[in-house]
Structure 1
């Protein structure tokens, strides 16, 4: 009996030593949740377990955060506008009907035009009574011109006995009647030429053959293909003397802009800031009126961790977070503070340490793992 009790005590000691050895107890083991299986999953402490195969499937890429000193930036809403020096508009000066200027018809939007090129004709539109009055006036002027020419011829035949001033008066009257006839005749059969004020690309073409237009109606709009103007709107006071430059994102590219100036008059309680870029094809990068986000760079600097904007996601609490790779298959969320840097990057100013590996591609897919 005593031998059996000794054996049972020895077994209990061995079991206790197996499950609770030195430096590890049951409480500490419960604090480290373990992944079950080989599938991407969210662990009990909120971290993620993502196997290498799942990382490759989601296209997860990481980047080591590095501290840098960069220019402070402000993000302002803006829109693309026409360069007033290198662009222009073509408007009708009188009511009439649109006619093509050549055998190829009217130019389409996107066509290149030269300065002084006739884009279309406007045939004046007038009523029957008005045209009848002009025709009557023209007939009267022609009759008066015939009499004046005959009188001038008689005076020239009597040049030896007629004062020179009478001949000069008759010649002036003939010239005056010819000018009036030309003016009235041009009003009846003339047409207005719509001429390109500058060379460039047609940004808009609102003309159709046979279309009736009114005075001041916009027919064509010409822009410079190598000039881009952006107007940013500042609703809060900013130091204008601290503005250095700006950038705007166009797809995957960042287009640099130079600061032109700002008027000293508010428009709709906001101050417009003008930026420009003159480069090959800059004016074709964005259409007129396109809303954009302008990243205005100031002369002052700030230190932080630049990261691609694709690294930032929101969690269930609507906080801006980034996912940090803590182990080859483990990821943890970090709530951060950030500010805009340019059209593609942001500057993390808090919540992240330099040297941590941040998910910069596939972060939105990582955040969806449950």
Structure 2
């Protein structure tokens, strides 16, 4: 009997459990109601209304520092170096003696040339007296014309010998002076390539040392010719306004990212384009009294290139790029729908991009919540707080490459 009862109970229990499950599900629908049939709620985003304003155009160019003046010291005479008269890395003055070469042989040559000149001067005196006497005697026919001509020729030969002796003395004096190597400019001297006791030769290829004037100092910059052409077209079209001042101020950013304290000026611009690189060389000059800038340093220079009117500032975080690298911003329309808008970017200005095309003043762009939206979808737009600093208050602008 027990086995029979269990056989009948199992189907009954299963039916009862199924009934309870269906009732629970039915009850849940009745309690919770039917699921919502409308679209999901639009995401909330923060927008910023853009406006047109006047923005300074500043281009950032790479460059290297170079000395204002540079002089390589090479001996003009051959001899043994007897003294190095400077400390390596120190400041030297123009005309300061830096090296001394053994002067004994050149002093002897100078003394010999001086004696030769004295002998030549004495010979000239004798020849002049003889020529004057013969000139008087030939008038009264006391001597022959041939003797007078010989006396006059001897005088001229003696004068020529004296001139040659003077030249030899000057050459000996110059060589004697060259035994002291003097700095042709004031500046900082580098390490010495030789020490006392070394044999140096006249006009040798290796420089003994190099003196560089570093205050002021030059910065050589390169700018593409294409960028120059673009700027010229925009000036002609009136989209850029050139500065009224003749000089161009230049600011410098050092290798560690810090800004150089002193402001420089543009010194020259090359009139030819480098065929290999397609760029033009610009040279700026900076004061360097503290010696912060050293030759060969890599720097970045910022040069103003006019003012762009009716430009629009877009925060960096509001701009993205597509797979092709084109700049995009998300615009919220009047119907609160998202539109992906391609824009043209000219430069970076502080925490903003300077947009020159694709946006109009008064349009709203999404600055926060970009990850929650897609083109064509509705959004709940909320205006952002105070906008980024104006162009006049922002840091120096950098042209977009």
Q: TM-score, normalised by structure 2?
A: 0.48
Q: Residue 113 in 1 paired to residue 110 in 2?
A: no
Q: Secondary structure at the match of 2:226?
A: coil
Distance in 1 of aligned mates of 2:113 and 2:299: 62
Q: Which residue of 1 aligns with 2:252?
A: 248
Please report the RMSD computed on the Cα atoms of aligned residues, expressed in angstroms: 6.0
Q: Which residue of 2 aligns with 1:225?
A: 215
Q: Which residue of 1 aligns with 2:367?
A: 353
Distance in 2 of aligned mates of 1:162 and 1:112: 65
Q: Which residue of 1 aligns with 2:283?
A: 274
State the Cα distance separating 1:92 from its structure 2 match: 2.8
Q: Which residue of 1 aligns with 2:58?
A: 73
State the Cα distance separating 1:299 from its structure 2 match: 0.8
Checking the alignment, whether the CA contact within 8 Å between 1:91 and 1:216 is kept in structure 2 is no
Q: Which residue of 1 aligns with 2:399?
A: none
- Structure 1 pair 290/207, CA: closer, same or farther in 2 (3 Å)? same
Checking the alignment, whether the CA contact within 8 Å between 2:82 and 2:102 is kept in structure 1 is no
Which of 187, 191, 212 does residue 178 from structure 2 map onto? 191
Q: Unaligned regions of 5+ residues in structure 1, if any? A: 33-63, 322-334, 358-370
Q: Secondary structure at the match of 2:170?
A: helix
Q: Residue 212 in 1 paired to residue 200 in 2?
A: yes
Q: Which residue of 2 aligns with 1:145?
A: 118
Checking the alignment, whether the CA contact within 8 Å between 2:63 and 2:219 is kept in structure 1 is no
- Matched residue count: 286
- Structure 1 pair 18/28, CA: closer, same or farther in 2 (3 Å)? farther
State the Cα distance separating 1:94 from its structure 2 match: 2.8
Which of 299, 304, 312 does residue 303 from structure 1 map onto? 312
Q: Which residue of 1 aligns with 2:379?
A: none
Larger-gyration structure (1/2): 2
Checking the alignment, whether the CA contact within 8 Å between 1:80 and 1:286 is kept in structure 2 is yes
Distance in 2 of aligned mates of 1:20 and 1:88: 90
- Structure 1 pair 258/181, CA: closer, same or farther in 2 (3 Å)? closer
1:16-35 alignment runs, 5 A limit: 16=29
Distance in 2 of aligned mates of 1:140 and 1:246: 57
Distance in 2 of aligned mates of 1:78 and 1:106: 32
CA offsets 1:285-340 (integer angstroms, 9 cap, x no match): 34323343433321123432466xxx99x99x79699xxxxxxxxxxxxx998665
State the Cα distance separating 1:272 from its structure 2 match: 1.4
State the Cα distance separating 1:208 from its structure 2 match: 1.8
Distance in 1 of aligned mates of 2:315 and 2:83: 56
Q: Which residue of 2 aligns with 1:367?
A: none
